[in-house]
Chain A
């Protein structure tokens, strides 16, 4: 059974804190993604990675950075959390060849106070 796991289901942080969201996939997928999902705005791509140590900005990268040191793990970093980063964060992975579907993790509901 394919699996994408995220480190936390719910997280509460204070403004200005550094926040790490971790994502692990066990499918040996080359591509990994970070999205945020907000009511009325849908899923928006923050960053994606197509290989270890490789990354590309998505549509809303401001205020975020990422790290991919191992193929199975992709981290999203909020250098200095702000209240407008309160959101549901979803990680996903996919293959480079073959089926294009993205497999999503369960999400992390982040609240910044």
Chain B
């Protein structure tokens, strides 16, 4: 079976750094996605980690530890527009077509 856990809600201050954690238990792990979803909009791709370690893309970084079943998304220099839900998702064996999503973390950025 698949199980993905991430916090339901987080609040952070504009300009600060926030880390959104995701733990997973899954059979046949391929890689881990992070998506951003603004209210009322479609999810948009942020990152895909296959190997252990940190990958940086501008203000956003994503980390993966396969042995621990753990990932985090790090957002730096928070902006008001970063207020959104952040979805952790795992791709399973047989290719990355089969993806299981977590329930998402709703991040509120406050002035």
Contact = CB atoms under 8 A, between A and B. Distances in A.
B48 A100 contact: yes
Given A96-B95, A100-B96, A43 B45 contact: no
Contacts of B7: none
B42 A48 contact: no
B82 to A, nearest CB: 19
Interface residues of B, number: 21
Contacts of B33: 100-101
B101 interface: yes
A40 B105 CA distance: 10
Interface string B71-93: 00000000000000001010100
B48 to A, nearest CB: 5
B100 A102 contact: no
A48 B99 CA distance: 10
Interface in B35-57: 41-45, 48
The 10 A-B pairs at the shortest CB distance, nearest first, are namely A101-B45, A104-B42, A42-B103, A43-B101, A100-B96, A42-B101, A104-B43, A100-B48, A31-B97, A106-B42
Given A33-B99, A42-B87, A100-B31, 7 more contacts: A31-B97, A42-B104, A43-B43, A96-B95, A103-B45, A104-B44, A107-B42
15 contacts: A4-B42, A40-B103, A41-B103, A43-B43, A43-B87, A48-B98, A59-B100, A100-B31, A100-B91, A100-B96, A102-B99, A104-B42, A104-B44, A105-B42, A106-B42
